Structure 1
Amino acid sequence: MSIKDLRIKNGWSQEYLAQLTNLSSRTIQRIEKDNKASLESVNALAKAFQLEVSELKELIEKNKNQEELNSISTNNFINFLKHDKGLVIFLFVNTFLIIINLITNPEVLWFIYPLLGWGIPLFYKRYKKYYI
């Protein structure tokens, strides 16, 4: 749970939390965005949320770690797509073909033929590369 989650759970605006803690609204925004706070800010926030300082520090640290994990997994997916241009082209072209098919003649779903004809060998090639 982050500072923002605690604030929202209590039904407080950033301005109200700033008033409770004698911090500026900008400081509250920065802490919610970056998950970094000075010791004075952590003490003031802990008092406002009626938590121990150690508990609040632990919450901030857990949230920071979770955001880092999310960033790593997003970067891994983006790197995967950068290195597999064939898959990106496959997705782009077939999305385009599906749209064309559904706009021009939705009664006959012809997009399935290039999708399967190109997709099955592409999947097999990736499967073989990573799992066999």
Structure 2
Amino acid sequence: MGQPAVQKTPHFILEGEGDRVLSKKKLDELVRQVTGGGEGDGLTPDVEESVLTLADDFVDSVITAACRLAKIRPNTTLDIRDIQIILERNYNIRVPGYSLDEVRTVRKFQPAPGWTQKMNAVQAAKVMGKNDA
């Protein structure tokens, strides 16, 4: 009886600074890796701050949308497939190694109304042409 009825999951500890998803150190490592690691290569403080804010906003919007999707299902936990669906449908991002067949999204061709009318007129002209001959 000394154990609580529901086990709490441990909180995830961010490696970033404060409430950031990405730390300035990790961003600097990424920039050096992409640019070749030269001393003069780097981001200005304004650009660095903008990239960090953009990363925070992106993660926040993905998680918020995935939580809304999980809430539609009668489930109280966020599953990896909720995040996958949001990334694939909204951002066309597929994460290697986490692909699920049921998550695959197929975009259906939606013709413009003008094109549909034009094709209907062509079909009608074909039918009328056969009747005249």
Same fold (TM over 0.5): no
Ranked by relative contact order (alpha carbons within 8 Å, sequence separation 6 or more), the top structure is: 1
Give the helix-richer structure, 1 or 2: 1
